[in-house]
Structure 1
Amino acid sequence: MNPESTLNQLKASLSDGQLPSSYGVYFKNTLVALCHALEDHILQNSDAPPEQQPLVLVTFQEGKWYLQEADRYFDVVQSCRHVVISAVADSGFLTHRTGQLENVSLINLDRSDSLVMEWNLIILAPSYTTMVLCHELMPDEYPAHTKPTIDTERKFYGLWTFDQKLVRESAKILIERFRPYNAELADCLLQQYQEIIATPYHQVPDLTGVVSRIVSYLQSSQQELITVNRQNREFWELEGQAKRISRNITGNKLQAFLRMAQRVDERDQNNPCASLQVAALSETLGQILDLPTVKLRRLQLAGLLYRIGLSSAPDEVFTQSPEEMDDATRKFWSERALIGARLLESMPELAIIRDVVAHQLEYWDGSGKPDGQKGEEINIKARILGLVAYFQSLTHPRGKRHAHSLTEAVEKCQELSGTRFDPALVEALKNVVKLAEIGLIQLPTQPSQLPNVWLEEALSSKSKSPKESKV
């Protein structure tokens, strides 16, 4: 990837030099889906007052993709304070009606500028920030025999994120890359940038709908990819290719959720590895109970996703104990399992996982949520998850509550045995903790099979084959 790329400049600007975990290699069709979803969030907020409207910076590869959707962008622009479109001079923007709008600025890129290899969408508003930041692989960066033969197989280094710090930094970088073309415009954009970040906005944005739309688009794009291949390949060649792409898109959908779960953990400074630890200890209890392998794998995944309902939670959820929360925050906290389950509904392949997440707050005595299930009516995986999640949270501080030792935490669980938790599971947990306390075992810190997305590393050099995050 070109060292002048926006991605590389963003990486260089970060104190630790590490791009977020969403960084990976993306198929073009996935990028179309992601951009559609993020643009839809603008359209969904079309009634926002002018001071809350976003600044949008876009770089379309030579304008090719944009011109297929020009009318759609005409509608998007109506809900923005300013949209800057960068593409090569002969892309067609000047003659299209979108390019004539007062709040649209066009930048005619020089073909020698590496920006012509980039596909960027940066949305900066007072109430939320988001972006897709990408750079197409150079021909020599494709592994042998994998160079794309059709458009939808083109690949891009890239990331997508809602992280405010990253989006703001990327916006400044891209504005400065526009400066050689139009210094007056760059100054205007910096002024708008400052106005946006200075605008107060205290409501926590609900971004779960955005991710749900992303997942929905990825689902629909699966069939589109297969259809395109059927039009371009002989039948015998199609079968293997379509299956490969289908698996990739399914992986995309799952990783959208896993990355969302990662963001929850990243927000929780007191317990930043909760999902990994809950997934790992849940798996251990499942092994003690001799659950079959397929159930262990599902329990593992449910552990990684058990907090996904907190993706748009107010900060107080991570800095206060339930006793310290106000009524509104406490209600959000109590509904977290149901919110997570509703989010997972958009991926039918996760139906079993969704049910485990949904029922993690069911109580042994029938007083839990959402259905008031009792005793062994509660799925064994949900019983394990609920107990382990509670235990793990006690071993970390939360608000005024100090972190408990392993022994103290398991004693708290024992107090709720027979009411909130399955007594047999509490006994199994006690045995594990005893072994850990006397040094015979160590409590696991991550599940035995961890999805690549969770430990994804930035690509360090093109001499290595690009690491394909299944996104």
Structure 2
Amino acid sequence: MQPEATLNQLKASLGDGQLPPSYGVYFKNTLVALCHALEDHILQSCSSIPEQKPLVLVTFQQGKWYLQEADRYYDIAQCSSDVVIAAMPESGFADHKTGQLENVSLVHLDSRDSLINEWNLIILAPDYAAMVLCHELSPEEYRADSQPRVDTERKFYGLWTFDRSLVEKSASILIERIRPYNPTLADKLHSSQEKIAHLPPAVPADLTGVVSRIVNYLQTSQQQLVTITRQTRELVELEGQALKINRNLAANKLQAFLRMAQRVDERDPNNPLASLQVSALSETMGQILDLPTLKLRRLRLAGLLFRIGLAQAPSEIFSQRANQLNETHSSFWKNRAILGAQLLGTMPELAPIQQIVLHHLEHWDGSGTPDGLKGEEISIEARILGLVAYFQDLTQPRGDRPAYSLGEALDKCLAYSGTRFDPALVESLSTIIRLAEIGLMQLPNRPSQLPSVWLEEATKPSQSPMRS
């Protein structure tokens, strides 16, 4: 950690150099949980009285800014007196509506500034103060066997606290680090900080709710890590079973993955053939687009494995609509692509498939997850898989939602053309569905090649066709 790091400067400013008990090393997904918990409190305690609104200082480590977070900060700004966001120039804020708000100030960090390695959220309000301070580990600080393979495995030194004196010291440090970029803004922020500090004593805010949210978020974060461990353990067990049939280690692991994916479908009473149908329609899309044979093979396999991240999912994931899930289950659902990719990452031979699964929830306009990729930054295979998976799910019932007809499901996809989905791919899917509706072709229910490990007796295509 660099000496000028906000975290280091805070430690040096303390007489005994002791940081709060929360100081430690955090995974990125835990930091997301902590920041969301504090941000949620801003939104839920939003006041219409200007003097009661908090000052919010936030810095984001080097990396692509996610549009869904930018939208979140648009709402946070409505409940704050001032919001300062420090990030790399290519973060996207300058063009986003959040960056145009009068009470939002953008600081475009220099790539040589160590602030690009920090992730800080500081909130100063008359009745409470809170913060998350973090600094990413350098490549040298990771053990050789623990280098992050995916974004959520990145680690940060960090702490979180409601101690006002610590929050105020950190705010002063961060404001001074912003000063070289905008001296006028730094002076304004110091004045705002002083104004808040000298307001008449306010009744301390009830932080029971935010503490509860932090606990829930951390439990959810931990549950996801436990889930990955359980999935890996199950994979080892399935691998051992496959080893009796085939001595090829790679083949054994692939068979274990395929069997695990099949078990996910078996747990879904409303959509027991999802993987088969998504693989088949994705392959058909790829053929129409004249993709090379290698890409077609990868797309076909990714379609069979795209739900593997739900191997340990609660039953509610399969019986309820996304907007009906509680916080824990909703987080599990939103992170399904990441969980699946982490599992597939244990087999290096499947690296291309892992990337397709990891990015199939990215959106054409950059508002998707997990990396906020935009347009053709998303591989053609991931774009196809994301569109087909969404379409296929709509053709089956989910919770209290009945199955949509092919035409109705297509209309839903068309509504997201150019935002969530690649317009050219939506057009290709439209051609296929229109041909199917007039009887000139039949939608495939299984890919052209089905691995033998996918047990025929467990999946009968006639049971649950895509609704016409």
User: What TM-score results when the alignment is normalised by the length of structure 1?
Assistant: 0.49
Instruction: Give the alignment's TM-score, normalised by structure 2.
Output: 0.49
